[in-house]
Amino acid sequence: MTFRGSYTVTITPFTDDGAAIDLEAHRRFLDWQLASGVPGLIILGSTGEFLAVSDAERTEFVKATVEHVGGRVPVLVGTMNAYTPNAVRYSREAEELGADGLMVVPPYYYTPTEDEIFDYYRAISEAVTVPIMLYNNPVTCNVDMSAALVARLTASLENVRYIKEASLDVARVYDVIEATDGVMQVFAGERIVQSFLLGAVGYVNPFGNYAPRASSVIWDLLTAGRVEEAQQIQRKLDEVNAIIAAGHPTYGHQCYSKALAALVGYPVGDVRPPLTKFTSLGGEGEERVQRIRPLLEQLDELADRFAPRAAVTR
């Protein structure tokens, strides 16, 4: 299976009291994603609060997602853990439950060496047969996987063929492709248009949680050569991001993603601690959401205007 396009990295819906995963809300949310034309889904990533779910919840959530999607689009599962045997266990379980691929960040907290990172991914790779998407996120992991390390992993582990590149250095997209002789398939972590122009084949997309049509169409436009129209969508997404980032630290995308999903008709609860709950932001949070509302309407208008002529390459 080949992964291409703008994959929503989804929120994890919780009940109003936060005590359980809300599977009914999740199924409604998945139906909306599929109806919006999203070409793939990634669950239990950073946006999905993977650190805040129990092992039992993880199993139930992966199983429910795979069964509900039913092969209509690829489903990737975040299976990272700071303890290698846990990451291996999560990865093997995800494959057994029918996941199409894995997205795996390096071990966090420890600031591991390159050899430690290599051994971690090797253990996961040897335990599964599905494709593995590396996730380079130095902001949270305190390590930045160099293009040389990515090339080493690509050459040694045959199911390591994708990477979400979120180092905030857009030139890294080009560096990784060059270092791997084009074998590694790069998914953008930000700067969608620029990453595409440097050779990225997809985008791991948090905006899909509340603007799935526009943030999916953007990649169809790029593959159709309609870069300026894609730029128009990216500029609106950048405006949304600026409003969120100005009002909340690094992981504002979790609580605001959930608030904005509710705004457009898909309530999914709030975040779990220690993340800041949207409800605790009070008037400031509501004010920012209301500033984002017209931008979402404008994104829908752009999707309506551009999508009928966009070349679909899913």
Q: Which two tokens stand for residue 142?
A: 């305190």
**Residues 243 and 260 sit within 8 Å (Cβ to Cβ):** no
Within 10 Å of residue 181's Cβ, how many Cβ atoms? 10
DSSP symbols for the chain: ----EEEEE----B-TTSSSB-HHHHHHHHHHHHHTT---EEESSTTTTGGGS-HHHHHHHHHHHHHHHTTSS-EEEE---SSHHHHHHHHHHHHHTT-SEEEEPPPPSS---HHHHHHHHHHHHHH--S-EEEEE-HHHHS----HHHHHHHHHH-TTEEEEEE-SS-THHHHHHHHHTTT-SEEEESS-HHHHHHTT--EEEEGGGGT-HHHHHHHHHHHHTT-HHHHHHHHHHHHHHHHHHHHHS-TTHHHHHHHHHHHHTT-----PPTTSPPGGGGHHHHHHHHHHHHHHHHHHHHHHHHHGGGSPP--
Q: Which residues are catalytic?
A: 135, 164
Two tokens, residue 194: 């620029």
